[in-house]
């Protein structure tokens, strides 16, 4: 079959094109409902609501990963699809469920960003693919599957987020930000390969 990574990129490109067509490439404004904007701008005491929601999502994902049969099946499928199928795991069902969860998380992120800036921007999120890849790779998650954890991916995302915000505060040009993120990925992959070689 077609490689899932290629399928994901193709789907991304197609849906992004549909968004441009529907919006005519203009920003979409909507009534500023306080209840909706709270998701992006609200605070619970001194803590931003987005931070609380992130902690909740990471906690639930970690519990599913480490405490359920589904989580173990996802790890097994990422490590060896053939062995997973032979051991009785419903490979296609687990794969579809994993993609559905990933899509739901991406949709939630889109809602939070829209609530934060109070406008739907067709180009919002362009280039976020590199940030996502950088986050999981820096977090020690193998793109080939089977190695990594929710907590490590969350730490990787935190690192990339702090790095991006720091570069923005320092007025680092966007082109150099891309270079630095690319170097972060290369360094992380190199360190991962060295560590794996030593384990072997």
pLDDT of residue 49: 96
Q: How many CB atoms lie within 10 A of CB 34?
A: 8
User: Mean pLDDT across the stretch 62-89?
Assistant: 93
Q: Cα separation of 172 and 170, whole Å?
A: 6
pLDDT of residue 199: 62
pLDDT of residue 181: 82
Domain boundaries, the chain: 1-124, 127-200
More confident residue, 69 or 132: 69
pTM listed for this prediction: 0.83
**Angle made by CA atoms 74, 57, 183, in degrees to the nearest 5:** 75
């Amino acid at each position: 079959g077609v490689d899932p990574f290629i399928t994901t990129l193709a789907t991304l490109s197609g849906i992004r094109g549909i968004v441009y067509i529907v919006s005519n490439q203009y920003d979409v404004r909507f009534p500023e409902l306080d209840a909706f904007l709270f998701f992006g701008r609200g605070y619970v005491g001194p803590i931003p609501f987005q931070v609380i929601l992130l902690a909740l999502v990471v906690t639930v994902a970690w519990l599913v990963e480490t405490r359920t049969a589904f989580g173990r099946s996802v790890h097994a499928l990422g490590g060896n699809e053939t062995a997973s199928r032979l051991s009785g795991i419903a490979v296609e069902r687990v794969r579809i469920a994993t993609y559905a969860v990933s899509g739901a998380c991406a949709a939630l992120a889109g809602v939070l960003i829209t609530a934060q800036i109070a406008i739907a921007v067709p180009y919002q999120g362009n280039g976020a693919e590199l940030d996502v890849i950088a986050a999981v790779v820096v977090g020690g998650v193998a793109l080939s599957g089977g190695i990594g954890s929710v907590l490590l991916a969350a730490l990787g995302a935190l690192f990339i987020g702090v790095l991006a915000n720091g570069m923005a505060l320092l007025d680092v040009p966007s082109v150099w930000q891309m270079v630095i993120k690319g170097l972060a990925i290369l360094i992380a992959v190199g360190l991962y390969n060295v560590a794996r070689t030593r384990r072997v």
